[in-house]
Amino acid sequence: MAAQSPATSGVSTSPIAADNPGVIDLFAVLAYGEISAFYRLAEEAKLSPTLRGKVAVAKMATAEMAHFQTLETALAECGVDVFDAMAPFVRALDAYHASTDPSTWLESMVKFYVGDGIAADFYTEIAGALDPAVATVVRDVLAETSHSEFVVEEVRRAVTTSRSERDRLTLWGRRLLGEAITQAQYVMAQRDELAELVLTATGDLNGIAALFERMQDSHAQRMAVLGL
Among 1, 17, 66, 133, binds a copy of itself (CB under 8 A): 66
Instruction: Please give the size of the binding site for a copy of itself, defined by CB under 8 A.
Output: 21
Does residue 38 bind a copy of itself (CB under 8 A)? yes
Query: Are 25 and 142 in contact, with CB atoms under 8 Å apart?
Result: no
**Which three-class secondary structure string do you get for 27-38?**
HHHHHHHHHHHH
- Give the C-alpha separation, 1 to 44, whole Å: 40
Among 1, 76, 78, 90, binds a copy of itself (CB under 8 A): 90
| Binds a copy of itself (CB under 8 A): choice among 35, 75, 159, 208 | 35
- CB-based contact 23:130 (threshold 8 Å): yes
For position 85 contacting a copy of itself by CB under 8 A, the verdict is no
Min CB(54)–a copy of itself separation in Å: 7
Q: Looking at beta carbons only, is 58 or 80 nearer to a copy of itself?
A: 58
Distance between CA atoms of 25 and 201, rounded to whole angstroms?
14
Intra-chain end-to-end CA distance of the chain, in Å: 39
Beta carbon nearer to a copy of itself, 48 or 200: 48
Contact between 69 and a copy of itself by CB under 8 A: the answer reads: yes
- Work out which of 27, 68, 113, 172 binds a copy of itself, going by CB under 8 A: 68
Which amino acid, one-letter code, is at 113? Y
Question: CA-to-CA distance for 78 and 219, rounded, in angstroms?
Answer: 34
The set of residues, in sequence order, having a beta carbon less than 8 Å from that of 27 and lying 6+ positions away, is 71, 74, 75, 78, 85, 137
Is-contact 114 176, C-beta < 8 A? yes
Q: Does 52 bind a copy of itself (CB under 8 A)?
A: yes
42 touching a copy of itself, by CB under 8 A: yes
We find the least distance from the C-beta atom of residue 43 to a copy of itself, in angstroms, to be 7
Provide the binding-site residues for a copy of itself, judged by CB under 8 A: 35, 38-39, 42-43, 45, 51-52, 54-55, 58-59, 61-62, 65-66, 68-69, 83, 86, 90
